[in-house]
Amino acid sequence: MANCIRCGRQLPGFSFGKKVCQWCVQHEAYQRGEVVENARQPVMRTSWARRGESAISLTQVIFGINVAVFLGMALAGSTVMDFSSQETIRWGANWGPLTLSGEWWRLLTGVFVHGGLIHIAFNMWCLWNLGQLAESLYGRWTYAAVYLVCGLGASLASVAWHPGVPSVGASGAIFGLAGALIAAFKLGEFSVPRAALSGTLRSLGAFVFYNLIFGFLPGIDMTAHIGGLVTGLILGALVAVLAPRHDHDFRRVGIFVVFILVLMGGAIEVAHYHGLPFRVGRSAFFQSSNLPESTPQLFNSPTARQA
């Protein structure tokens, strides 16, 4: 069967001579102002949805990893309401003395660690709602890349701003998803009718606004929120401008590779700023069993922050 030359959707059978699907025809009529705002938009299979694909979404997988880590911490600890700094660091929290001394994987593992029951409940509620939207529009692998890279950007911003404070939580990556979607919708990456687009943008804007205001409460890692949001805005804009189509896989891979290299450069500069040589591997100066008592003088005393 032929595919639509606009969006790549598969055209119905016996569509002889047709090159544009019904969805795109109506969407273009929307853009020209020829269709009323409340007209029903036809529902068609997205061009990037593959037949036979697992019914389990990537959002559910990410959700499950976060919950599994939390359950492991709960079983190993004495409470689920508020884990100590030592516990979060042992489970992979982003903490300057270890992260900047070679344990760079903490920039990513900290995204899957949470400080307590309320913390993970709120973050997973946001992930479930926002993640489903991002995954349906971006497709699985691009969604995964945006989520993880935004998590890295959020963690790097956090450790650069307050390296002596352990930081945990998924909200930096979730803010990144919001930023990427805002940039993509603004730059017209997705074919969405104006009525639906305005409502989606209002919802995303409200999510960012209220969570940034909420982030000023004590113990909240606002730096990670802003770092994730900015990373998502930049990534979303680059994908929308340079690789808007779902068959632009090579371009999208290039965008993410370049962005990761930029983050690596930023990590090197942060380490040098604190007088540490750039190295990769478990720190020889700090042992997890003695954390966080062995904090060097160049870092502040640890008080866990939640992202």
* Catalytic residue numbers, as ranges: 171, 225
Tell me phi and psi for residue 87, to 5 degrees: -65, -45
Residue whose token pair is 């190993």: 76
Q: What residue spans of the chain are helical by DSSP H?
A: 22-31, 58-76, 85-90, 96-99, 106-109, 117-138, 140-161, 171-186, 194-214, 222-242, 249-273
Residue whose token pair is 């999208």: 252
Residue whose token pair is 């929120």: 225
Tell me phi and psi for residue 293, to 5 degrees: -65, -25
Measured between alpha carbons, how far is 168 from 92 in angstroms, rounded to an integer?
A: 8
Sign of the CA dihedral running 152, 207, 139, 192: negative
Kindly report the number of other CB atoms within 10 A of residue 131's CB atom: 23
